[in-house]
Amino acid sequence: MNIEWFKANLEEAIEALQSILESPEEALESPSISLAHAYYHLNAAYRGAHYEGDAFEAGGSGDDFPFRYFPTDLPEIYGSWTKE
């Protein structure tokens, strides 16, 4: 497990969510940007937690980043997570 990767991304997500809570009016001006930053780090934490190797070095840039896409292995808890 990539504990440092997991922790770093959760900390970034918490900071992004805290920023939204501190300035909700500002966040609501561009909610997709505000929430996307938090989502990005939550997703990266989830996807990279069990990555074999150095998650900080995974991929390269652009579309090579393997933790970018929404996970398809989450159980359906509150409805469908994917379009399929």
d(CA 74, CA 72): 6
**Is the distance from CB of 38 to CB of 18 less than 8 angstroms?**
no
> Does the structure show a pLDDT above 80 at 58?
no
For the chain, the farthest-separated pair of C-alpha atoms sits apart, in whole angstroms, at 40
pLDDT band at 8; cut points 50, 70, 90: very high
The total number of residues written for the chain in this structure: 84
* Between residues 43 and 14, the one the model is more confident about: 14
Return d(Cα 12, Cα 38) in angstroms, integer. Answer: 7
- Asked if residues 16 and 36 have their Cβ atoms less than 8 Å apart, the reply is no
pTM of the model: 0.69
pLDDT of residue 33: 86
Answer yes or no: are the C-beta atoms of 26 and 73 closer than 8 Å: no
